[in-house]
Amino acid sequence: MIDRNQERILCAAYRFKKGYRTPNCQEYLDRTGKELEAIYHEPWREVFRMATGWRHADVLYKWGKEVLDQSDGGGFMTSKGRYVDRTEGAKIAVAAGQCEPNITFLYSEDLY
């Protein structure tokens, strides 16, 4: 049985480069004068700083390298709305039973 309180890996993710706003976030800011992140409580506002997809290559293809921060090689979004790197992602996925128990560095291919 799945423990709904246990953090799990949802999908591959990259952070947006500092200062980049998605078109939806920019449109909301233009219309209201408020950052969209401001209406959410931590840690959920972090989801506005990420581009997500099934695989890391999907994210790169959709958004392009010019707007994504690739300094850490990409990471993952968790069920708690957090961005984690591949090492922490492996620990979470192993604890949740989402992948093989002997991995220390998570790839999206390990999940699906």
**3 in any annotated domain:** no
pLDDT in tens, the chain (112 residues): 677 789 999 999 999 998 888 888 888 888 888 887 777 767 667 887 899 999 999 999 999 889 999 999 999 999 998 999 999 999 999 999 999 999 999 999 999 8
Residue 2 lies in a domain: no
CB of 39 within 8 A of CB of 109? no
Residue 79 lies in a domain: yes
**Structural domain includes residue 82:** yes
User: Domain count of the chain?
Assistant: 1
- Tell me the residue range of the domain where 95 lies: 9-110
Task: State the pTM of this model.
Answer: 0.85
Question: DSSP state, 55?
Answer: S
According to DSSP, residue 20 is labeled -
